[in-house]
Amino acid sequence: MPEEMNPYQIALRQLDHVAGILKLDDGIHAILQKPKRELTVNFPVQIEGSGTQMFTGYRVQHNTSRGPAKGGLRFHPETNLDEVRALAMWMTWKCAIVNIPFGGAKGGVVCDPKSLTLAELEDLTRRYTTEISIIIGPSSDIPAPDVGTNGQIMAWLMDTYSMHAGHTVPAVVTGKPVSIGGSEGRIDATGLGVVLVTEEAFKKRNWAMDGATIAIQGFGNVGGAAARIFHKRGAKVIAVSDVSGGITDSRGLDIPALVLHVKQTGSVVDFPSTEPVSNEEILALECDVLVPAALQGQITGANAGQVRARMVVEGANGPTTPDADAILGSRGILLIPDVLANAGGVTVSYFEWVQDIQSFFWSESQVNSRLARILRRAFAEVWAASETHRVDLRTAAYLVGVARVAEATLTRGIYP
């Protein structure tokens, strides 16, 4: 398969593969190949020093057969419609794999949030929200944070939507600060989910978490939380990286001290008593678990042969290309796919939405124990599918997810 496939082509290829195994009806397969709804918006924002500047944003709803569309919002200079389509499709499967009543969506704005002032970022978020407000809503499509967005941006989105509605609508977005209807446990949920599924895989292999060596690419919402939780649970995080570079220490990094260093300097780079490591090198370090938690397309046909981890747990969406999948599989490296490994975020987003609708809030321990129950069940179902069909865990996860979405689509029937 050519490496230059874009994420949407990869997502389609993955769907076609499982459609064959499931002997999916041709009509249902055709429905699932296309996003249900795509909105492209072009809008102006006043930028200091350069006046009015036009920005492009997207919101794609892939499928809503199982419930309202759900998916994050990405602010990144290289985001584009095909990337957003792929991410929306992956959200559909992910929600079905963990069996929460949502379809899949994703949004993005082509921008570099780091180059904007806080006021410009707020203006951009509020105008983008207004532009997509014709298709989002608490019972239609619920955004959440992704790369380049955070709780503050979700707060602006919620406020903008509420101003237009004339009343506060907390359930229009998840990943909000707790003070305005966010859920306890949401910030760490994706990272915690990464650790929970790793623990399940360790049980299957009879490995111990205590002293296990972990390398993590990306130190944001997902990678940063995963590092903290792995460290807390006795694992040795031996390397981490961010967009500026990485650091390694085979004795295990002092993660709480590193978190402080990142707060002060903005990067993991130059953390005392560590060796520098590049983002390419971190993928090839010898360790028990490699967690790619930055962007897609990191482990490719060109570098998968150098991966020396015994297990890869995908914190990011789409970090491993199909070529790399095949190479890792042939080398006996177990891979826990994104649609399962990083589903903790959307699961707690679902909890947040439920709490907002009921105006009745749960404690962090209630959130975390419900999250663990859902992820352990999803892991067991995916593992069982991989044994039944004798396929890798990615294919197995897709089999579980696509079958559920196909069943819902078929049961609802085609209107009119």
- DSSP classification of residue 39: E
Least separation in angstroms between CB 282 and ligand NAD: 8
Among 106, 203, 204, 236, the active-site one is 106
Rounded distance, CA 117 to CA 97, Å?
A: 39
> Amino acid identity of 23?
K
Residue 242 or 288 having the CB closest to ligand NAD: 242
Burial category of 138 from C-beta neighbours within 10 Å (exposed 0-12, middle 13-18, buried 19 and up): middle
Least separation in angstroms between CB 123 and ligand NAD: 20
Least separation in angstroms between CB 222 and ligand NAD: 4
Rounded distance, CA 179 to CA 117, Å?
A: 24
Contact at 8 Å (CB) between 355 and 367? no
Give Rg (Cα) of the chain. 20
Residue 170 or 344 having the CB closest to ligand NAD: 344
Residue 163 or 243 having the CB closest to ligand NAD: 243
Residue 82 or 407 having the CB closest to ligand NAD: 82
Strand-pair category, 287-292 with 275-277? unpaired
Strand-pair category, 51-63 with 37-47? antiparallel
Tokens of 42: 């072009």
Rounded distance, CA 78 to CA 91, Å?
A: 20
Give how far the C-alpha of residue 291 lies from the chain's centroid of Cα atoms, to the nearest Å.
13
Least separation in angstroms between CB 160 and ligand NAD: 21
Give the CB-nearest residue to ligand NAD. 220
Contact at 8 Å (CB) between 218 and 283? no
Where in 185-341 does DSSP place strands (E)? 213-217, 236-242, 245-248, 275-277, 287-292, 309-313, 334-336
Least separation in angstroms between CB 332 and ligand NAD: 26
Rounded distance, CA 91 to CA 74, Å?
A: 14
Interface contacts to ligand NAD, rule CB under 6 A: 145-148, 190, 217-223, 241-243, 279, 293-295, 315-317, 342, 345
Least separation in angstroms between CB 90 and ligand NAD: 9
> 106 an active-site residue?
yes
> What's the half-sphere exposure (Cβ side, CA atoms, 13 Å) at 94?
37
Residue 75 or 128 having the CB closest to ligand NAD: 75
Closest by Cα among 176, 269, 270 to 219:
269
Least separation in angstroms between CB 112 and ligand NAD: 12
Rounded distance, CA 329 to CA 334, Å?
A: 7
Residue 21 or 269 having the CB closest to ligand NAD: 269
Q: Which residue, chain included where needed, has tokens 């920005």?
A: 55
Instruction: Give the N- to C-terminal CA distance of the chain in Å, as an integer.
Output: 39
Residue 139 phi/psi, 5° resolution?
A: -115, 10
Contact at 8 Å (CB) between 251 and 274? no
Residue 28 or 122 having the CB closest to ligand NAD: 122
Least separation in angstroms between CB 75 and ligand NAD: 9
> Amino acid identity of 133?
S
Residue 35 or 345 having the CB closest to ligand NAD: 345
Active site residues: 106
